[in-house]
Amino acid sequence: DVVLTQTPPTLSATIGQSVSISCRSSQSLLHSNGNTYLNWLLQRPGQPPQLLIYLVSRLESGVPNRFSGSGSGTDFTLKISGVEAEDLGVYYCVQSTHAPPWTFGGGTKLELK
């Protein structure tokens, strides 16, 4: 199974600061059809996760454009350009290139400094 490793596990930021989260895969997530099935989710406290980004860099409808995703192969990054209070929570990457199983990263908790 594919293992996704997220770093850092915890991230402290001030409002307005830009931050990045890394997601590294144990094998390439490039599918034979040319797509890379790597998504990013945000789980706010007490809430279900919500989809932020799919296919590495495509912003889900309604998600602010301060969120961006990049990467290829085994290394992926989620960037928040100017953290806002509503961005606090736990971020997860998830892959489906080599599904089943779908696999999640261990999560990165974004908190206020």
Q: Does 104 bind another protein (CB under 8 A)?
A: yes
Choose which of 13, 51, 59, 88 interacts with another protein (CB under 8 A): 51
CB atoms inside a 10 Å sphere around CB 1: 10
Closest CA to 49 of 112, 104, 113, 111: 104
Q: Does 76 bind another protein (CB under 8 A)?
A: no
Binding residues for another protein, rule CB under 8 A, total 21
The token pair at 102 is 């779908």
Q: Does 2 bind another protein (CB under 8 A)?
A: no
Host H or E run for residue 30: none
Task: Report in angstroms how near the CB of residue 77 gets to another protein at its nearest.
Answer: 18
The CA-atom distances, in angstroms, between 92 and each of 1, 33, 34 are 17, 24, 23
- In the complex with another protein, the residue whose CB is nearer, 1 or 84, is 1
Beta carbons of 43 and 90 less than 8 angstroms apart: yes
Q: Does 94 bind another protein (CB under 8 A)?
A: yes
Q: Point out which residues bind another protein (CB under 8 A).
A: 39, 41, 43, 48-51, 54-55, 60, 90, 92, 94, 100-107
